[in-house]
Amino acid sequence: MSTRARQYTADVLGREQLSDHLVRVTLGGPGLADFESTGIADEWVGLVVPGQFQSRYYTVRSWAGGQLRIDVVVHEVGLVTEWAAREIVGDTVTITEPKGSFAMPGDAAWLLLVGDLTAMPAMARIAETVGRDGFDPARVRIWAEVPDELGGYLPAGPAVTWLDPPGEGRSGLAEVVEAIDWPAGEGYFWMAGESAQMRAIRKHLMRERQLPPTAYDVMGYWRGVAQRQPRAVDPGPIWRAGKAAGKSDDQIWADFDAAREGHT
């Protein structure tokens, strides 16, 4: 039996600029005929755009009538962001089978959603899905850290706190969550965005709030450009010098990492 994730080819049927930094891409065509949604509200797919072989993850904002919509954040540089900024209708892309992670317990008294622009598609779909399942929207609260005016993007009902990002390519959501006035009783906390912020929040939820793992879901969706990016270093000379000096492979990789971090 093959363990390879299933893949689908899809045609780009539409491209719509929703706001300065958000582009809606509609995919469809015969390659998606067998696509099956997991039904999990934050489900995502891997996307490979033309001329690339690496995938990037995108939330399935919706799947209906043979059309799959993703909303792509347009940031400074990147494989998908640069592709999505262009005229792409008619392109063919590859997507992988969907996976999801949102798992609110049936007896949750409340639902808190926190995220930056990359998390907006998931937060919108989660709010929509739980509302359709009969969860009182008054028990849902959303914190959205976005650079654009996106008032109509989220379904009506839940109270939304709109936050400005601290700067281009930056997020300050960890501080926001640490200051939340938590509702009484047991509920579910879902959060996604910049990875360093998510690491800080996981620690906070485990140590300070002592939540059981079933009560929250926190996902790093991207790595901030403000963090140190490794330098591009050719591993060839380091490898040859290491071998000549009789170093082990591990030592050579450590030398390579040190060179990328600028310590040599």
Residues forming contacts to ligand FAD in the complex (CB under 6 A) are: 44, 56-59, 70-73, 75, 77-81, 118, 121, 169, 219, 221-223, 225, 229
Residue 24 CA to residue 13 CA, distance in Å, equals 11
Q: Which is nearer to ligand FAD, 71 or 255 (CB)?
A: 71
Q: Which is nearer to ligand FAD, 207 or 228 (CB)?
A: 228
- Min dist. Cβ of residue 186 to ligand FAD (A): 25
Q: Which is nearer to ligand FAD, 145 or 255 (CB)?
A: 145
Residue 238 CA to residue 224 CA, distance in Å, equals 28
- Min dist. Cβ of residue 246 to ligand FAD (A): 36
Q: Which is nearer to ligand FAD, 172 or 239 (CB)?
A: 172
Residue 189 CA to residue 209 CA, distance in Å, equals 12
Q: Exposure of 195 by Cβ count < 10 A (0-12 exposed, 13-18 middle, 19+ buried)?
A: middle
- Min dist. Cβ of residue 58 to ligand FAD (A): 5
* Residue 170 vs residues 116, 129, 236: alpha-carbon distances, Å: 10, 29, 34
Q: Are 78 and 21 in contact (CB under 8 A)?
A: no
* Residue 90 vs residues 13, 72, 84, 160, 230: alpha-carbon distances, Å: 6, 17, 13, 36, 36
Write out the H or E segment, with its range, that includes residue 151. Answer: none
- Min dist. Cβ of residue 118 to ligand FAD (A): 4
Q: Which is nearer to ligand FAD, 104 or 252 (CB)?
A: 104
Q: Which is nearer to ligand FAD, 27 or 80 (CB)?
A: 80
* Residue 3 vs residues 6, 32, 39, 132, 195: alpha-carbon distances, Å: 9, 20, 22, 34, 28
Q: What would the two tokens of residue 131 be?
A: 């509302």
- Min dist. Cβ of residue 30 to ligand FAD (A): 24
- Min dist. Cβ of residue 47 to ligand FAD (A): 8
| Residue 232 DSSP label | P
Backbone angles phi, psi at 51, to 5 degrees: 80, 0
Q: Which is nearer to ligand FAD, 88 or 239 (CB)?
A: 88
The residue whose Cβ lies closest to ligand FAD is: 78
DSSP strand pairing (111-116 vs 56-59): unpaired
- Min dist. Cβ of residue 208 to ligand FAD (A): 25
